[in-house]
Amino acid sequence: MVVTSNVTSSPEETDNNYIKIQNHGVIFNNRTAALIGADGTIDWACFPNFNSIPIFDSILDYKKGGYLMVKPLCNTTINQYYEEFTNILITEFIKDNNIILKLTDFLPASKFSTTNFPEIHRFVEALDDVTIKLYFKPSFNYGQEIPSIEKDKNGYLFHRTERNIGISTNFKLNKNKTMVYNDNIKLNKGSFQWIVISTDINHLSNVDEYKSYKLLEYTRNYWKNWSNTIYYQGLYHKYIVRSALALKGLFYEPTGMMVAAPTSSLPESIGGERNWDYRFTWIRDTAYVIEALSLIRLNDEATKFLYDLLYRINRDQKLRTIYSIDDSDTTDEKIIDYSGYMNSAPVRIGNKAGDQLQLDQFGSIINAIYQFNLAGGMVTIQLWDFVLSILNSLKSIWKYPDSSIWEFRTEPKQYVYSKIISWTAFHEAIIMGKALGYSAPYNEWKQIEDEIKNDILKNGFNSEINSFTQYYGSTNVDASLLRIPLTDFLPVNDYRITGTLKKIESDLMHNNYLFKRYNEDDGLKGDDNAFLLLSFWYIEDLIKMKKIKDAKNALETILNLSNHLMLFSEEIDLQTHDFLGNFPQAITHLGVIRAIVKLNEQFSNTQKSPMVNHKKSNLKIE
């Protein structure tokens, strides 16, 4: 990526200092993540865990939020990239075609899950004589608390209540009430310094005592060794690897749960209120995780994720819509006094979706086990007993109205998508159970399967528009119906399937194979934009219909909408193609893997793989 960077003052002194979502990279350590702008600013990081209170959060309020900034005083262009096969991020500042400053950022990662480094390590390297500035302003309780700042020979320690945040460095810094800084640090060519940000400490260590070089090598080996376990040769290999590395980073190692994204309240529309906390595990994502990881032979991750999730479900004796990555309360949603990214309020912490009935969660967990079995996973008798219990619950409630996949906060309805996934649960359980030789009330399941199907065909298909509808009695479509061809509900050449696809293409598809979710008023302020997973479902539909050329063209178009690091958010602006929603988004990258692997299966192993020309962007950070 090449980005033009004009020197600005600190965020407190500017009118607009939000870095576009797509102009970010992210580093991980399987406990948390940090977002790093293309100008080197770290503007989001929760410590020590994904769901902890952030220490950097200026992406949600550039005046109140915390950040770390290191950049040259002169105007530069910027090149940002990952070390190959790792989540170690490099940011280079370029002047007159020469790299003058290089930043290397990482969160120490280890193969030992009990090892915890609540630290960010940044290597600052001068490749020419350069003058830089450094600002360090951590956030305490979403900017509500002003810390005391203690200076010692090793750096600065910020105190407030029970939390300490420190910066260890040999750079000479000044301080004011909320931050430490230096506007004029002169570096000679070949000089370098480490910066270590640490939390929950009682005293600062000398920066050299953190052994950053050794931790960098450990982290490099960790990610490269893990990348070697990815089994895939074929189309768009780099996208597979980067998506897999992002997904691996989103796992919370202590419990095995996966966050949908490491951020909260990045808006689905600028100025709108569709701003949600995604630092949770969604049941419906489970099937996508299991299948996508299995497709590239990451069977250990798929197995561990499934069994860790099943442990939580069995322990709670209840199937929830979403789960926290630890034991915190998922339904405690509150509003934070932040202006929001580009003034998109409210900023929410926590998620009320856990209170909703979403029928597709039942079918999703059955589909996850079904996909696990197809990939060679062992469905034990204990796991089969779990299937029995899920279907025993679903048979009593599948007729209920619900909030469905989009988690509508309006009155529940009879959503067709939820009914389809409920049908899938019984259909796949029958196939799986009989193949495994397990006992079950198959006759009853078959009767329910047929009843659900007849109910959908009677009430969910509108002959006047020749399409399935968003909910019973509606005349509108919903792009979640793109999932129907990926089930066995009807043959892909059935007129009701082809009619639905044509209606979705007509009503919800925009340029570049981007899809709005629906046109229905959902009671929320702001426009809905393109939900990226839907594009990958559509590509899979085309593949299943043997429209391979169209599928390949659509896939390349969507892949070229990724950012400079081949990362995706949840949504994208239909006009500007700016990223929207939380970032990076697990379910989008799961869609990337599925669509690429499914397309690759259509090409022989001897055929040369077509490559995407992943263009460099020349975007100005405003």
Tens digit of each residue's pLDDT (9 = 90 or more) over 158-191? 998 778 999 999 999 999 999 999 999 999 999 9
Of the listed ranges 211-225, 551-565, 593-607, the least confidently predicted one is: 593-607
- Please name the helix (run of DSSP H) or strand (run of DSSP E) that holds residue 510, with its range, or none: strand 509-510
Q: For residue 316, what pLDDT is reported?
A: 83
Strands, E, within 29-66: which ranges?
33-37, 42-46, 54-56
Cα separation, 293 vs 261, in Å, equals: 17
Residue with structure tokens 């940000």? Answer: 197
Phi, psi at 259, each rounded to 5°: -80, 145
Q: Which of 116, 214, 195 is nearest to 156 (CA)?
A: 195
Q: Residue 16's pLDDT is what?
A: 58
Distance CA 403, CA 521 (A): 14
- The residue with tokens 């991980």 is 28
Per-residue pLDDT band at 35 (split at 50, 70, 90): very high
pLDDT, residue 444, reads 99
Look at residue 244 in the predicted model and tell me its pLDDT.
98
User: Reading across the β-sheet that carries 148-152, which strands appear in turn?
Assistant: 148-152, 155-160, 163-169, 192-199, 119-126, 98-106, 89-95, 76-82, 2-5, 618-620
Average pLDDT over residues 419-437: 98
Residue 356 pLDDT grade (very low, low, confident, very high; cuts 50, 70, 90)? confident
What's the rounded Cα separation, in Å, for the pair 580 and 104? Answer: 26
Question: What stretch of H or E contains 451?
Answer: helix 442-459
Candidates 239, 132, 126; CA nearest to 565 is 239
> Residue 512: what pLDDT?
84
Identify the pLDDT of residue 10: 43
In the prediction, which pLDDT does 349 show?
Answer: 96
What percent of the chain clears pLDDT 90, i.e. is strictly above it? 83
Short-list 524, 182, 250, CA closest to 195: 182
Helices (H), 545-580: 548-559
Amino acid, res. 319? L
Most confident of 55-59, 115-119, 611-615: 55-59
10 or 319, which is more confident: 319
Q: How far apart are CA 25 and CA 44, in angstroms?
A: 11
CATH code of domain 229-603 = 1.50.10.10
Look at residue 529 in the predicted model and tell me its pLDDT: 95
CATH code 1.50.10.10 region(s) in the chain: 229-603
pLDDT of residue 511: 87
Judged against a pLDDT cut of 80, whether residue 610 lies above it is answered with no
What ranges make up the beta strands (E) of 206-283?
251-252, 257-258, 281-282
pLDDT digits (tens, 9 = 90+) for 78-123: 999 999 999 999 999 999 999 999 999 999 997 655 557 789 999 9
The pLDDT assigned to 618 comes to: 35
| CATH fold for domain 2-206+221-225 | Beta-galactosidase; Chain A, domain 5 (2.70.98)
Give the per-residue pLDDT at 3: 52
**pLDDT at position 425 over 70:** yes
**Is the predicted pLDDT of residue 616 greater than 50, yes or no?**
no
The 10s digit of each residue's pLDDT in 462-504 is 999 999 999 999 999 999 999 999 999 999 999 999 999 999 9
SS percent in the chain: helix, strand, coil, step 5: 35, 25, 45
CA–CA dist 435, 586 (Å, integer): 32
Listed residue (207, 350, 249) closest to 33, CA to CA: 249
Query: How far is the C-alpha of 286 from the C-alpha of 294, rounded, in Å?
Result: 12
Distance of CA 193 to the CA centre of its chain: 32
Residue 487 has which token pair?
Answer: 């089930």
Find all residues with CB under 8 Å of 574, minimum gap 6, and list them: 510, 511, 514, 516, 529, 530
Is residue 56 scored above 50 in pLDDT? yes
Q: How far is Cα 377 from Cα 301, in angstroms, rounded to an integer? A: 12
Q: Residue 292 carries which side chain, given as an amino acid letter?
A: A
pLDDT at residue 531 above 60? yes
Residues 6+ apart with CB under 8 A from 226: 245, 248
pLDDT score of 607 more than 50: no
Q: Nearest 5 degrees, angle CA 26-CA 28-CA 32?
A: 110
Residue 96 backbone zone (phi > 0: left; psi -120 to 50: alpha; other: beta): left
Looking at the chain, which residues constitute the CATH 2.70.98.10 domain(s)?
Answer: 2-206+221-225
Short-list 63, 64, 62, 73, CA closest to 37: 62
Using DSSP, state whether 72 is helix, strand or coil. Answer: strand
223-227, 287-291, 548-552 — which is least confidently predicted? 287-291
Q: Residue 33's beta-bridge partner residues?
A: 28
pLDDT for position 111: 66
C-alpha span between 598 and 259 (Å, rounded) = 25
- Higher-pLDDT residue of 286, 215: 215
In angstroms, the CA 366 to CA 383 distance is: 10
Q: Concatenate the DSSP letters of all residues of 120-161 into one string.
A: EEEEEEESSSEEEEEEEE--STTTTSPPEEEEETTEEEEEET
State pTM to two decimals. Answer: 0.94
